[in-house]
Structure 1
């Protein structure tokens, strides 16, 4: 299955499969980069402000900076001939401005959307704990109620990673650009 060179953005809440699918998707290209947007948060040594349900304006500003850096890095790699897979939790009203930050085209926006039950089960099996500040249900609610209904939404609840990747590729090939 061949995909065109582009910028592929994978989002979803924690334990939805973003890291796994983003890595698998980036391996589909001859030249590719996997940008893990969360790395920009992790780079802050002191002064990191987590996005919480009762977040501050300072937390939003750090989030916007993280999104902007991911978009700029993706554009830079794309302009050097790479396909770029960007992966992070992109939620709420900031999604639209994040997508507008990309200079390069095409951009594909993909939301992994397993059920709450599937997320809870996956979280139990992970070797890391994502849900320390948020509970699954409120974060899922933000995704469902506040995210724009753009791009490709995939319910991966009963899919293996390989099936998820196959579904994404099939949809991109049949529907074209999904931003």
Structure 2
């Protein structure tokens, strides 16, 4: 089964497998790019304000800036002939604003949502710690209850990365949102 050239957006909470799956998916294209949206947050060397459960307006403005920059980079690669996979924590009310940044089509939106125990196990095995300000359960509740129910949702709790990628490829039509 082949993949159509497009923009593939991968979201989920920290330790849901976004980076791994996004890299694997981007490698499936003849001309593929993997944009890690979080890199734009990391570029701020002074004055960064992280999103926390009790975030400020300034933190929200920085998040929106990060999303806007990511969308512009994605569009530039896409308009240069690449298929682009972009990943970040696109959560809650900000999802639709992020999607509105895109002029190009097709757009595929994929949400990875393993169960809480799987996320905790994966987090313990990572070389980094994502859950400092957030609890896994709290962030997972935002994903499950505040994200729009669009695109393809995959419960990858008991799937290998290869199985998750295979499921995305097999069900890609469900992921297409525009």
TM-score interval, smaller chain: over 0.9
State the shift of 1:127 in Å. 1.1
Distance in 1, matches of 2:144 and 2:175, equals: 24
Partner of 1:116: 116
Partner of 1:2: 2
Query: TM-score, structure 2 length as denominator?
Result: 0.98
Partner of 2:104: 104
State the shift of 1:125 in Å. 0.8
Bigger mean CA offset, 49-58 vs 122-131? 122-131
Q: CA RMSD in A?
A: 1.0
Question: Alpha-carbon deviations, 1:74-100, whole Å to 9, x = none?
Answer: 000000000000000000111001001
Query: Do residues 90 (structure 1) and 94 (structure 2) align?
Result: no
Question: Alpha-carbon deviations, 1:97-132, whole Å to 9, x = none?
Answer: 100100110000000000001000111111111111
Query: TM-score, structure 1 length as denominator?
Result: 0.97
Does structure 1 retain, via aligned residues, the 8 Å contact 2:109–2:175?
A: no
* Unaligned runs of at least 5 residues, structure 2: none
State the shift of 1:176 in Å. 6.6
Does structure 2 retain, via aligned residues, the 8 Å contact 1:152–1:178?
A: no
Question: Alpha-carbon deviations, 1:19-69, whole Å to 9, x = none?
Answer: 000000000000011000000000000000000000000000000000001
Tell me the secondary structure at the aligned position of residue 134 of structure 2.
Answer: coil
Does structure 2 retain, via aligned residues, the 8 Å contact 1:10–1:85?
A: yes
State the shift of 1:133 in Å. 1.0
